[in-house]
Structure 1
Amino acid sequence: MKFGIYYSYWEQEWSADCLRYVEKVARLGFDVIEIAAHHLNSFSADHIDDIARCARDNNIAVTSGLGPSQERNLSSPDADIRKAGRAFFEETLVNIAKLDVHIIGGALHSYWPVDYSQPVDKEGDRARGVEGISSLADFAADLGIDLCIEVLNRFENHVINTAEEGVAFVRDVGKDNVKVMLDTFHMNIEEDSFSAAIRTAGPLLGHFHTGENNRRVPGKGRLPWHEIGAALREIDYRGAVVMEPFVKTGGGIGRDIRVWRDLSDGADEAKMDQDAREALAFSRYVLGGDKG
């Protein structure tokens, strides 16, 4: 396994420049940095090159996350919105490929966060999502990118809430580069068993996010990490394990994630770095079985 962190841990806005965090995550001992994919579309070609160069120089792999907006929803009943979503995905995938990204995860089949003030159509949204991802998969494959469909909790999406639903969706798509993505925060809400969910995903598990029940870094909550690690090793998962903690209030991130209190206990950046380093060591031990 390779271990990473989403740079938004330190930020309040999804649009923050990820470049300043590449050296930081390398210094902290991570193998991977995860970035918010769609904001690359506003970066200049030179700046994208700078990020790619920095990642290479620091031996850091880049993965990407994406929560498409409602106006770029591949499962929308509005054909114009689906068309705009396809154009947006193509631009985004081309840009992340410049960073040698091979994994993009998130609610790719839908949009995020879902507006539950409006009626939802799970069956129709699922069918349109399967069609949209199926049509996009070959474009992504030509760029060497896997589309990892995230299983989200009921409060953030209605189409796929469990590993079983994620596997069924991926099988309906039927493309080798379309896989399941699990996240321990969402699993804690929806799954009867962490280990059973991981075994259900099995060889279709393409990406894995970690975060505590309270969205703090691994080790600062109550999740059964040894059970989770044993299941990942049982299915011989060799992909990225990316922690996705959200601990700061304010900005677009605090609003979207619903962080209404400071979960960092007033930590400054140095203390947040220390917490991330300790969570990495903890994760390598309990998930990867690192005894060193």
Structure 2
Amino acid sequence: MMPKFGASILSWIPKWTPEGGLYAIQKTASSGFDIVEISLPASMDFDAKTVKKQLAKHGIEGRCSLILPKDCHLPHYPKQATQLLKKALDKVEAMGGNFLGGVLYAAIGSFTGAPCTDAEKNMLQDVLSEVADYARLRDITLALEPVNRYESYVLTSAAEVLQLTDRMHVDNIGLMLDTFHMNVEESNFFGPVVQAGDKLKYLHITESDRGMLGEGNVRWDDLFKALAAINYAGPLVLENFSSHLKELVGPTSLWRKSKYDPEALAKGSLAFMKKKAKQWNIGASATLEI
């Protein structure tokens, strides 16, 4: 049994809008993916019930992600962050989903000029424990995505996320890894996956330059060997970008023209993911699916 393969809406559109979202759902389905990852807007202007119908019509699943905006940077604005995260969980529930992942603990580009302090870590633990309880009542799993040092100072490695979640003692919050960020912050692609084990809930698959999978320097065999070792049961979700979407150039720092247009990039990357999953027998012994 093969794992489920997904693509972010950012493969097709720069941000969520009702019209753009429908287009992303249609393109994700027609390109052969099983899942579309919906990056929720911070405004929460998101008609979850309509999206649920659209997903059903096109025969794919929806998984939601979120990045906190600057005015909800959790260490500085815990109340605002808590409120927004709960609103996001309400949207996931209304859509019929069971997952919320991403940078649920910080705003990209918010820095203090110092490492994350113990007081900030305690704030993360308090807020995310409350949010996890709220999510549990809705049968939703949370996953925290560490991002590289140029985007945040709060959680930048798998080990830091695992240390935090171990202190929280909750069963519905885990780790979300992204191979782009791993390529910057981890010493290898095997160890963090094995260390996480069944706490790894979700995986962003992306090349070192955000381009076509297999054409950069991500050590894919090390990654897939690790996924096989832990019997990874979660989805493999593409998150790469094309400069052909002009609105993405600035936000994703695509300063050089992309070699591939969005459709070629998505389809070629999906073929690569399927090839590697088959090569390493990913999903063959998987028994758990979130």
TM-score range, shorter chain: 0.7 to 0.9
1:263 shift after superposition: 1.9
2:113 equivalent among 73, 95, 119: 119
1:223 equivalent among 218, 221, 231: 218
Unpaired runs of at least 5, structure 2? 282-290
Give the structure-1-normalised TM-score.
Answer: 0.87
Pair 1:31 & 2:34 matched: yes
1:262 shift after superposition: 2.1
Question: Given residue 62 of structure 2, which amino acid in structure 1 is its aligned partner?
Answer: V
1:15 shift after superposition: 4.9
Q: Secondary structure at the match of 2:100?
A: strand
Question: Given residue 264 of structure 2, which amino acid in structure 1 is its aligned partner?
Answer: Q
1:39 shift after superposition: 5.3
Matches within 5 A, 1:166-205: 166-205=161-200
In structure 2, what is the Cα distance between the partners aligned to 1:288 and 1:65? 27
Task: Provide Cα deviations, 1:202-247, integer angstroms capped at 9, x if missing partner.
Answer: 1110111010000113223222212211111110111111110022
Moved more, 55-64 or 181-190: 55-64
Task: Provide Cα deviations, 1:246-272, integer angstroms capped at 9, x if missing partner.
Answer: 222643x4333222222245x3xxxx2
Pair 1:10 & 2:6 matched: no
Q: Which residue of 2 aligns with 1:273?
A: 263
Task: Provide Cα deviations, 1:47-74, integer angstroms capped at 9, x if missing partner.
Answer: 4322211211222111111110121122
% identity of equivalent residues: 26
Q: Relative to total residues, which structure has the larger helix share, 1 or 2? A: 1
Q: Which residue of 2 aligns with 1:162?
A: 157
Change (3 A) 1:121 1:222: closer
Task: Provide Cα deviations, 1:168-190, integer angstroms capped at 9, x if missing partner.
Answer: 11111221111011110001111
Unpaired runs of at least 5, structure 1? none
Q: Which residue of 2 aligns with 1:68?
A: 68
Number of residue equivalences: 276
Contact 2:202 2:235 in 1 (8 A): yes
Question: Given residue 12 of structure 1, which amino acid in structure 2 is its aligned partner?
Answer: P
In structure 2, what is the Cα distance between the partners aligned to 1:71 and 1:172? 26
In structure 2, what is the Cα distance between the partners aligned to 1:218 and 1:48? 31
Change (3 A) 1:288 1:160: farther
RMSD: 2.0
1:191 shift after superposition: 0.9
Pair 1:84 & 2:80 matched: yes
